[in-house]
Structure 1
Amino acid sequence: MKQVLIPIDFSDNAYNALNYAKTLFSGHATTFYLLHVYISAPSNLLSTEHNTSILDEMSGNEEQDLKDFLNIAQKENNDDLHSFEIISKIGGLVKVMNAVVISNKIDYIVMGTKGAKGSKEVFLGSNAVKVINGIENCPVIVVPQNYIPKPPSLIAFSTNFKRAFVREELTPLVDIAVANNAKINIARIMQEEYLTDRQKENKEILKGLFSDLDYIFCKIDVETSETNALKDFAKHTESDLIALVHHKHNFFQKLLQEDVVDKISFNSPLPLLILSELK
């Protein structure tokens, strides 16, 4: 049984992220937790009594919106192995999500990259990087705006072999590949022509972790930026999903630095699976 957390802001992008998650785990027992978090700071211009009244009214509206969203999800569900639950909370985005991840033993977070309802303070879109950087020990799948959900048949997994992976770090990727019978292209994006002895050792470790999967190793030449190199590789190989391990001060951080100005989440045309680094 998989536990999947879907941040909801009632936008089309949030609904698309849910549809992608349903597609990704089609035919597998999965509980989808539809989470709505809104931040509402009390106004200094209003009394405590008025602030409380406004918060209560907002909470009631949010609860009804979330229930309506749940009803739509349930009516349109055609997989008997899928179930849905709703969670509504007031508070800080990362703090609330980390708490839900722990309390509900969440296996994956799947979220859209854009979207908002009215002027409410919601977190999908420009805060995607905050979620990726702030969530602890839970993989995050980012679904681009307007992406048409389909099961992945080819996954591009990027690594430079400069560190050894442990099985638990790659389990979310392995599970998705197995569930969808997907092949993995292991993309080595680096300036150096040859691997060091340590990198060769780490490559052998990765072979062991992927021993039950269909995979190949590929080297990618970098002409402009590592971000563009990975995008081009994914495009030319007709990949359906890009996977990265999020360790600090590495390739992932370079991706953020290179593309953070060019909108959010690398402006990727494909869903991104961001795997957590385990210390």
Structure 2
Amino acid sequence: MFKILVPVDLTDSAYKACNFALTFANQAPEATVVILHCYQDYLEEPNGEGMFSESNATSEIITDHVLRRNQTDAQEKLDELYQSLKAVNKNPYLQLERVFMYGMPEDLVPEEVQRFKPDLLVMATKGESNLARTFFGTISTNIAQDVKVPMLTVPETYEGTTLKRVLYATDFDKEDAQTLEALQQLLLPFSPVIECVHVADEPTRSDNKKLEALRSKLQQTAKTNISYTLLDGDDVADALQKFVSEQAIDMVALTSRSRTLLGSLLNPSLTKRLMLESQVPLLIFHASADE
């Protein structure tokens, strides 16, 4: 049973994340997709002055009414999303569930990951310009650091679910071979070309040797077509995104390193930047332990 958890904020981007999750789920013999909304009490800004200027008792009644209305609206939107996904899903072997929970998403999502043990976590991202207001701003990047299951982020502006060409960003870590095996297994139904790319400021002979060593290690067990490329660039994120644009890449994958490995090219700062700036989905694997 292939299990996917999709936290949603019930905006338009939620449907895109769910649709991408269904694309993966439909490639499995049996799958369960859980749509999770974490509800938080909030008060909308009053439309006019004096809204809460009456007695304390009256103010409490109005406050309670607004909060109940907000919760009801959120539940109805989650139901609408669930029903729309059920309507487009034609796979009788796919089990679709919805969960409405009260609390902070940065707390509840890792807890649900521990409980549900999904094979994949899928979340929408909205970009840096909305960080101050959006659920999927700093929260999504924090969750990416806290969970240990593969996490797929889908940009709000991204259209489609094609997976013909996938970039894997390598820093020649000892776990790259294992991660590439997992990536191939996950994407096997899509039969993509995987572009294994390393970015270096003035690539050296040592970089070439490491890339060839990775190629040799994988060639005997490769399940799909993998190519290997050295990119010249002093800004890793910019170099990768330029490659994505020029080579029509459909998804970027990488292994996020420990918070302590700040010397790594693929440290959490770069992962966070790619999550906020990438124009294509980003699949994040996690190093098994700090080194």
State if a TM-score over 0.5 links the two structures.
yes
Give, as a single letter, the amino acid of the residue that structure 2 aligns with 1:253.
N
1:85 to 82, 87, 97: 97
CA distance in 1: counterparts of 2:208 and 2:199, whole angstroms: 17
Distance change >3 Å, CA 226–CA 164, structure 1 → 2: same
Q: 1:16 and 2:16 equivalent?
A: yes
CA distance in 1: counterparts of 2:184 and 2:220, whole angstroms: 9
Q: How does 1:162-241 map to 2 (within 5 A)?
A: 162-165=173-176, 167=178, 169-170=179-180, 172-191=182-201, 192-195=203-206, 199=210, 203=214, 207=218, 211-222=222-233, 224-241=234-251
Give, as a single letter, the amino acid of the residue that structure 1 aligns with 2:240.
L
Structure 1: 5+ residue stretches without partners: 116-120
Conserved? CA contact 1:63–1:88, under 8 Å: yes
2:141 to 129, 142, 149: 129
CA distance in 2: counterparts of 1:128 and 1:3, whole angstroms: 19
User: Which stretch shows the higher mean deviation, 230-239 or 50-59?
Assistant: 50-59
Look up the match of 2:46.
none
Distance change >3 Å, CA 277–CA 172, structure 1 → 2: same
Tell me the TM-score normalised to structure 2 length: 0.77
Give, as a single letter, the amino acid of the residue that structure 2 aligns with 1:7.
P
1:70-120 alpha-carbon deviations (Å, 9 max, x no partner)? 1111112223332210111122222211111121121111111129xxxxx
CA distance in 1: counterparts of 2:247 and 2:235, whole angstroms: 18
Give, as a single letter, the amino acid of the residue that structure 1 aligns with 2:141.
V
Partner-residue secondary structure (3-state), 2:205: coil
Conserved? CA contact 2:170–2:176, under 8 Å: no
User: Which stretch shows the higher mean deviation, 23-32 or 267-276?
Assistant: 23-32
Conserved? CA contact 1:36–1:87, under 8 Å: yes
Conserved? CA contact 1:112–1:125, under 8 Å: no
1:219-275 alpha-carbon deviations (Å, 9 max, x no partner)? 1111x5111110111222221110010103222337538x84xxx724211110011
Query: How far does residue 150 in structure 1 lie from its aligned partner after superposition?
Result: 2.2
Q: How does 1:94-105 map to 2 (within 5 A)?
A: 94-105=106-117
Look up the match of 2:130.
none
Conserved? CA contact 2:126–2:156, under 8 Å: yes
Q: How does 1:54-69 map to 2 (within 5 A)?
A: 58-69=70-81
Give, as a single letter, the amino acid of the residue that structure 1 aligns with 2:75.
E
Structure 2: 5+ residue stretches without partners: 44-51, 128-132
Give, as a single letter, the amino acid of the residue that structure 2 aligns with 1:64.
E
CA distance in 1: counterparts of 2:217 and 2:95, whole angstroms: 34
Give, as a single letter, the amino acid of the residue that structure 1 aligns with 2:249.
S
Partner-residue secondary structure (3-state), 2:118: coil
Higher relative contact order (CA 8 A, sep 6+): 1
Look up the match of 1:251.
265
Distance change >3 Å, CA 131–CA 148, structure 1 → 2: same
Conserved? CA contact 2:167–2:195, under 8 Å: yes
Partner-residue secondary structure (3-state), 1:141: strand
Distance change >3 Å, CA 59–CA 202, structure 1 → 2: farther
Conserved? CA contact 1:184–1:214, under 8 Å: yes
Distance change >3 Å, CA 99–CA 170, structure 1 → 2: farther
Look up the match of 1:151.
162
Distance change >3 Å, CA 225–CA 84, structure 1 → 2: same
Tell me the TM-score normalised to structure 1 length: 0.80
CA distance in 1: counterparts of 2:143 and 2:163, whole angstroms: 23
1:112-144 alpha-carbon deviations (Å, 9 max, x no partner)? 1129xxxxx86224533222123x211111111
Matched positions, count: 264
Conserved? CA contact 1:4–1:107, under 8 Å: yes
Percent identity of paired positions between Structure 1 and Structure 2:
20
Look up the match of 2:33.
32
